Amino acid sequence: MDRFELVRASFEKKAVAAENPAMKTSDYFGELVFDRAKMHKYLDAETLAAILKCIDEGGALDRKTADGVAKGMKAWAIEHHVTHVTHWFQPLTDGTAEKHDSLIDYDGKGGVIEKFDGKMLAQQEPDASSFPNGGIRATFEARGYTAWDPTSPVFIQDDTLCIPTVFVSYTGEALDYKTPLKRALKAVSDAAVPICQLFDKKVSKVYSYLGWEQEYFLVDEALYAARPDLMITGRTLMGHNSSKNQQLDDHYFGAIPSRVASFMRDLEVSAHKLGIPVKTRHNEVAPNQFELAPIFGETNLANDQNQIVMNLMNMLARKHGFVVLFHEKPFDGINGSGKHNNWSLGTDTGVGLFSPGKDPKSNLQFVTFFVNTLAAVQKHNALLKASIASATNAHRLGANEAPPAIVSAFLGKTMTDVLHKLLEVPSDTPIEIAGKKGKSLGLVEIPEIFLDNTDRNRTSPFAFTGNRFEFRAVGSYANCAGAMTTLNAAVAEQLREFKAALDAELASGKKLEIAIMDTLKPIIKSIIDVVCFDGNGYSDEWQVEAKKRGLDVETSVPEMIKEFTTPDAMKLFTSTGVYTEKELEARNEVKWETYSKKIQIESRVMVRMATNHIIPAVLEYKAKLLKEVALNKEIFGSTEGCEVELEIIGKINRFAAEIQEKATAMREARKKANVLESEYDKAVAYHEIAEDLAALRRPIDKLEEIVDNKMWPLPKYRELLFIS
Ligand code: ADP
Ligand code: MG
């Protein structure tokens, strides 16, 4: 099929009917998850008590309990026609990994039986030498193991029982995203509980919550297949802007096309069956861009659910003739995709620690957590940026869409005023609820609910939105755990330091409220004019100003990655027990290596497309023009009247020569980069190549503008971007 047939066919595609269970959502919600309700139904009393204790209080799973749970799980799974089982884990690659084993075993009588026991549930040894590990396991020592994380419920996908697991080496080092995340969640709870107990003795655990918003693009799968760059790198490496893209803002919250709506419906039903509380769906700013968000949940579980949803999206999109693009910047010149991470902390007594309270005391607790979070973000602003840095997200960083390549925090006017006021008033001034006592000078007031914080400065990478912070810098492709591990660890460290300082104040005999304010004041002073910034994060002035304030303004990803092994970062992660030094060093190796490989692949694809697609098409057009000119000369004796042809030929010559020259230089640069020994040096070299990709693209996009539309070999932006 030529390009035009492909495009026409994509427009003629009709929506595939979505699955529409003739039931209320609540009737099938969680149907495919072995959740607490299933545990009550399928487990004996002793096993039930043991596993719930394990989930709620942590601690190891003993073999007897594992066997008991496996027995109940097997009965449930077989009712759902399950035939296979897999340990499902999150290695340091994009996406998740699975190795499916059949449930059958010989029965000793010449037949087979379904077998699933505690051993299969609790632990497996995937041959894991080919997962990235940064040298922690030499490749001949292939053994790493996966172990069930009982806080993540087991679920069924198609015919397979999926067991969420951690993935660690035999010497105990984390090889995945989940293990450090769980450590960070424990660290933040351990650090927050003693502070919460100053306000309420009953608090015994603090939960970290995550509500992710997943942005993505959909493209027609046939058009996608005609674009080698999209297929192999997830983004278009070339392509001239469409005459119309997002400038009219007509896509945002517009009507969802029926083909897309049908895909979304299927996705929602599947997610709900897996207990994932998907709630909102809408068009995003760019054409063909959409967003999906669930109701927030406990961070470890919410992150698993994000990974599951991404898998589901990949699978279901195909059914509807689409491909999902999670790449942060699949198309040049229009918005990219992020994954906003709405984050908060809450106690096991049901109090949200970033929500103002009902009285001055609970307001003081809110302010305490609010200020300490900002202090953590300030201290580790460079590290937080590093936690979201990747070869793909680099296209969003600093490209006039959240996030700028500077991590600052948006507070909103109310909280900015409150912080300023707190610095002015005596430390025993209560923080009242606005309006309760009428307006009076000298009072510090907080509204019960922040109505105005819907204002949302969209240019801020870390914004307070009324009862939570929204970390917007996370990439759409990323595993949220990278960002969530760093954020929770940073806050844990800050809370510990705060508590130590507070204890010193209390030891001098001060009243609690006064001691807290006296401890908070110097912190407020140190952050209010540094990390707190409500202005335009995209402006050039902010670049200058942020640097003056001492915030990190680095834009090169390989440099950002270095932040993980600075003395401050080492101290943060080792003191909170989140990463060992060895793990940090190994992970940096993996990050640099991944960075280089991604750019290497892009560069190869780009050069090949330039050579095999663009140049031949362009020369064909040039030959056609030359023939016309020759014909003209033959008939009329001169090239008079061929000015247009000659001008185009001249341009083609120039741009084609530029492509040729840049492509050759890029191949040479790759050769040099490839022989570098250290992963860091290699990544730095590839960073330069990444910048050259944009330069090589320019003459190609110029040619797209002048070459005969019929002869252009790739689907164009206007064809990829408008789903009918
Ligand atoms: P918007 O696009 O306006 O930012 P959405 O409704 O799309 O808002 O997404 C907001 C996300 O924040 C949802 O996932 C929601 O559940 C989550 N959220 C709300 N309150 C909290 C909270 N206290 N902690 C964490 N996440 C929260
Ligand atoms: Mg949001």
CB-based contact 605:590 (threshold 8 Å): no
pLDDT of residue 437: 58
What is the number of the ligand closest to the CA of 306? 1
C-beta of 295 in contact with ligand 1 (< 6 A)? yes
What is the number of the ligand closest to the CA of 402? 2
Residues 584-619 pLDDT 10s: 999 999 999 999 999 999 999 999 999 999 999 999
Whole-angstrom distance, CA of residue 420 vs CA of residue 417: 5
C-beta of 342 in contact with ligand 1 (< 6 A)? yes
Residues 484-540 pLDDT 10s: 999 999 999 999 999 999 999 999 999 999 999 999 999 999 999 999 998 888 888
C-beta of 344 in contact with ligand 1 (< 6 A)? yes
Q: How many CB atoms lie within 10 A of CB 458?
A: 14
Beta bridge partner(s), residue 208: 345
**Residue 659, token pair as written in the block:** 């492509």
Can you tell me whether residue 59 is helix, strand or coil? coil
pLDDT of residue 244: 67
| DSSP strands (E only) in 75-169 | 84-89, 97-102, 104-106, 112-114, 123-124, 144-148, 155-157, 160-169
C-beta of 213 in contact with ligand 1 (< 6 A)? yes
Q: Which of 468, 472, 476, 487 to mutate to test the pocket of ligand 1 (most atoms within 8 A of CB)?
A: 468
pLDDT of residue 401: 66
pLDDT of residue 284: 75
pLDDT of residue 15: 86
pLDDT of residue 140: 43
pLDDT of residue 287: 83
What is the number of the ligand closest to the CA of 284? 1
Q: If you measure from the C-alpha of residue 421 to the centroid of ligand 1, how many angstroms do you get, rounded to a whole number?
A: 29
**Residue 287, token pair as written in the block:** 């054409």
C-beta of 467 in contact with ligand 1 (< 6 A)? yes
**Residue 222, token pair as written in the block:** 């046939």
Q: How many CB atoms lie within 10 A of CB 248?
A: 9
pLDDT of residue 317: 96
Can you tell me whether residue 33 is helix, strand or coil? strand
Name residues of the chain where pLDDT drops below 50.
139-140
Whole-angstrom distance, CA of residue 68 vs CA of residue 12: 54
* Nearest Cα to Cα of residue 291 among 254, 321, 320: 254
Q: If you measure from the C-alpha of residue 296 to the centroid of ligand 1, how many angstroms do you get, rounded to a whole number?
A: 6
Q: What is the pTM of this model?
A: 0.95
Q: If you measure from the C-alpha of residue 416 to the centroid of ligand 1, how many angstroms do you get, rounded to a whole number?
A: 22
Taking the CA of residue 211 as reference, the ligand 1 atom at the shortest distance is 14
Q: If you measure from the C-alpha of residue 291 to the centroid of ligand 1, how many angstroms do you get, rounded to a whole number?
A: 13
Residue 413 amino acid letter = K
Can you tell me whether residue 489 is helix, strand or coil? helix
C-beta of 123 in contact with ligand 1 (< 6 A)? no
Q: If you measure from the C-alpha of residue 446 to the centroid of ligand 1, how many angstroms do you get, rounded to a whole number?
A: 21
Can you tell me whether residue 369 is helix, strand or coil? helix
